[in-house]
Structure 1
Amino acid sequence: MRISRRAFAAAAVLATVLPLSACSSDSDSGSSDASGKVEGKITFQTWNLQANFKDYFNGVIADFQKKYPGTEVKWVDRPAEGYADKISADAAGGTLPDVVNVSPDLVAPLAKAGLALDLDKAAADYRKEYLPGAWQSHQIPGMQGTYAFPWYLNTGPLFYNKRLFSDAGLDAAKPPRTYDEVFADGLAMARKSNGKIATFANVPTIEDFGRYGVESMNKSGDGFAFNDAKGVELLTKYKELYDAKALDPQALTATPESAGHKFLTESVSMNPGSALDLANFKKQAPTLYKNIGITDQITSTGKANMYVMGVMVNSKTKQKPAAVAFAHFVTDATRQMEFAKKVAIFPSTAGSLDDPYFTKEDGTDETRVRIAAAKSLKTAVNYTPVLFSEQMKTALRNEVAKALQGKQSPKEALDNAVKACDQLLKQS
């Protein structure tokens, strides 16, 4: 099941395979009018959900059909592998389902091709039901409109090692919350430990630039802008961490798994995670577990990063009222709360995160993490641009590595990264 990360490499296929003939303007992309009687047969496609949630979705479909007599929903589920290729083939062949489970990076090329219904026009009354940041996550730079209902969300708090903070003479009860604070604490910890304890085991990603307050794209949405003065400032700070060994030397090639291992062995003081990690710490590293602190994501904007899934309506559907009604039904507050209690995700509907399920402690690790994550999601945003592909992530990472190694300045690195990403954007 696709839960914790929204982007994957095959998504780039969708942008490149859609033929020019599929592109259309607002004038020929089908009417945005979704009024009328909710009736007829529609097809609903999900992304690797049937194996674990067959009964749940069959129940949702049955409830919808009961609410709207005369409707029929056919559910199809596609495996995670090749999902973007399947959507691409359907889009090119005119067989795209009426309602489709998408992530923001998948909906972007469909919206540009005129195949995603603009919900700001077709379903504007529903907008207030969702968290603002979640609704905005399926908006496309350079285009007017919102092209999918926000569905389930995910994020993660930050774990930190209280003992390592105390050993460095830092207040373990007051972990850093902004980048300025984490840079100061990281340098202090590296000095105190003679470079043996790093703060992070990861290089900065596009999400870090967003959390630092950098605008990732220009206003027109046709180019990237993370090489501005603020972006250069962030990378310069990371270079200082790297030089002081406050950033793990292996961060240049680290994976989430290897970074997690560094935290597990107490050579790194901070790492993002989940309740599953807490259970692992308790079993494999009881000393670490006793000293675990849980805090919010590091951000200088006051808003955490969210990952989001969505439900898109095919603008070419012949049953627009039914398709819009069903997409809303699947993502309304009632259905999202039911789903959130079956799997570790969070609802995107306004007010749902105030439910006791997300606010009331019961002493368990799972609940501790769930409450911390839910709190941050109320104001979270998706800092990864919907047009930022896996190839672009690799380009940024490569240039960041060169800057940290001193092979080029932070400014040169980000200029080169932006140039490479802009070229990839033009090719899509």
Structure 2
Amino acid sequence: MPTPRRALFAAAVALVLPLSACGSGGGGGGSTDASGKVEGNITFETWNLRANFTPYFRGLIADFEKKYPGTHVKWIDQPAEGYADKLSADAAGGTLPDVVNVSPDLVAPLARAGLAMDLDKAAATYRSEYLPGAWASHQIPGMSGTYAFPWYLNTGPLFYNKALFTKAGLNPDQPPKTYGELFADALQMARESDGKVATLANVPTIEDFGRYGVPLMNRQGTGFAFNNAKAVELLTKYKELYDAKALDAQALTATPESAGKKFLTGAVAMNPGSALDLDNFRKNAPGLYRNIGITDQITSTGHVNMYVMGVMVNSRTKHTPAAVAFAHFVTDAQNQMSFARKVAIFPSTAGSLNDPYFTKEDGTDETRVRIAAATSLKGAVNYTPVLFSDQMKTALGNEVAKALQGKESPKEALDNAVKAADRLLQQG
């Protein structure tokens, strides 16, 4: 994994895995019986965690081996760059570790290739320990089963610049709560600043369509559906914002980092983020920090977007009881809570978000953000379809750009994006 923030707020690289190299696409090919004695040597692979969390993982492994004498866990940590390619090569070569740190889009091709164990069969007894939305995040459309234990979660609020709201004649203590209010406030901000201050810095992504209430795939998982009337409505609104300079002129090529810089300099009035951003504001933009407003993500569904990491069990493991037990151990409530106290992430286990660490105010903005995020995560969903690859994200972004520039109508752009995504899905 990249750094925790990057892993959770940036899209993971799409994994291309020839299904014929690894077996059928119908689920795990090994034993899903985890009821035997927990023993044997297993390997555990993480994603760029060694640099910052070596003591934590060494302690975790030592605790597991103490609990289960006769087990030995070999920890492997891979760099952020090329992680997906490494998984693909290991899968094709039969050297995939027993337990693997994955994101939903990385587990999907492994599950379809029969290399990810179905935990609804192997670990159903543990399902109630996790938040329903988190458990469901590693389910694959068109397949039955769940293919990774949910590990840590993240989400974040919207930050806004109260000074810019005041200057535009908007109430700094009443930020927009609905899309209608957001669009109206953005247009007013652009008018009052003569187009010098945009409210938003990013074009709509697949997650934005999900938050707006657009169905993203058909129920069978065989095709995408984000070109319906509601999706066209959202993209049409963004086109209106773009034309009025309420959406930043550089939004077509913006990255989360560049959008964040725009927010720091006062060129943009609102930006999504996390508690990690507050220290950056304090150090690098004290004027902004004094005027920072914090509000919830805007949705039409009542559910915010959730980013999730998982722990997969290799269906070909020779030590199913040990591999399942260790994957569960890594992600159980006690160990997730311990990890959450070391870095700004949130446990996926049911009840953990009720801990005073996530509920008790202490007067600091950091705690306020942490509490707000924890509260919203209880009903959060992962809007990014697990089958929506990096190439599909690029195709959607290109078509959205054409619509905003007036080269295509919003309907034409979304139709083309769905066609491209469906074509890539079939090439699978």
Q: Place the TM-score, normalised by the shorter chain, in its bin.
A: over 0.9
1:421 and 1:377 map into 2 onto residues whose CA distance is 29
Q: Which residue of 1 aligns with 2:69?
A: 69
Q: Which residue of 2 aligns with 1:214?
A: 214
TM-score, normalization: structure 1? 0.95
Between 356-365 and 213-222, the greater mean CA deviation after superposition: 356-365
Moved over 4 A (4+): 6-10, 25-28
In structure 2, the CA distance between the partners of 1:9 and 1:151, relative to structure 1 (3 Å rule), is: closer
1:277 and 1:153 map into 2 onto residues whose CA distance is 17
Q: Secondary structure at the match of 2:353?
A: helix
Q: Secondary structure at the match of 1:249?
A: coil
1:53 and 1:164 map into 2 onto residues whose CA distance is 39
Q: Secondary structure at the match of 2:395?
A: helix
- For 1:236-247, list aligned pairs within 5 A: 236-247=236-247
Deviation at 1:325, TM superposition (A): 0.7
Q: Which residue of 2 aligns with 1:317?
A: 317
1:282 and 1:53 map into 2 onto residues whose CA distance is 26
Deviation at 1:284, TM superposition (A): 3.0
- For 1:224-243, list aligned pairs within 5 A: 224-243=224-243
Alpha-carbon contact 1:147-1:312 (below 8 Å) kept? yes
- Asked if 1:183 corresponds to 2:208, the answer is no
Q: AA paired with 2:211?
A: R
Deviation at 1:74, TM superposition (A): 1.5
Alpha-carbon contact 1:97-1:314 (below 8 Å) kept? yes
- For 1:15-414, list aligned pairs within 5 A: 15=16, 17-26=17-26, 29-414=29-414
Alpha-carbon contact 2:159-2:295 (below 8 Å) kept? yes
Cα deviation code 1:30-65 (max 9, x no counterpart): 232221211121111111112221111111111111
Deviation at 1:255, TM superposition (A): 1.5
2:94 and 2:279 map into 1 onto residues whose CA distance is 47
Deviation at 1:196, TM superposition (A): 2.4
Deviation at 1:328, TM superposition (A): 0.4
Deviation at 1:283, TM superposition (A): 2.9
Alpha-carbon contact 1:10-1:82 (below 8 Å) kept? no
1:191 and 1:2 map into 2 onto residues whose CA distance is 39
In structure 2, the CA distance between the partners of 1:392 and 1:7, relative to structure 1 (3 Å rule), is: farther
CA RMSD of aligned residues (A): 1.7
Cα deviation code 1:275-295 (max 9, x no counterpart): 342223223332222111111
| Structure 1 unaligned blocks of 5 or more | none
Alpha-carbon contact 1:149-1:310 (below 8 Å) kept? yes
Q: Which residue of 1 aligns with 2:13?
A: 11
Alpha-carbon contact 1:3-1:154 (below 8 Å) kept? no
Alpha-carbon contact 1:279-1:365 (below 8 Å) kept? no
Cα deviation code 1:338-358 (max 9, x no counterpart): 001111111111111111111
How many percent of aligned residue pairs carry the same amino acid? 78
Cα deviation code 1:259-290 (max 9, x no counterpart): 11221122211001233422232233322221
Cα deviation code 1:200-238 (max 9, x no counterpart): 011001110010011111111011110011111110111
TM-score, normalization: structure 2? 0.95
Aligned residues: 426
Q: AA paired with 2:166?
A: S
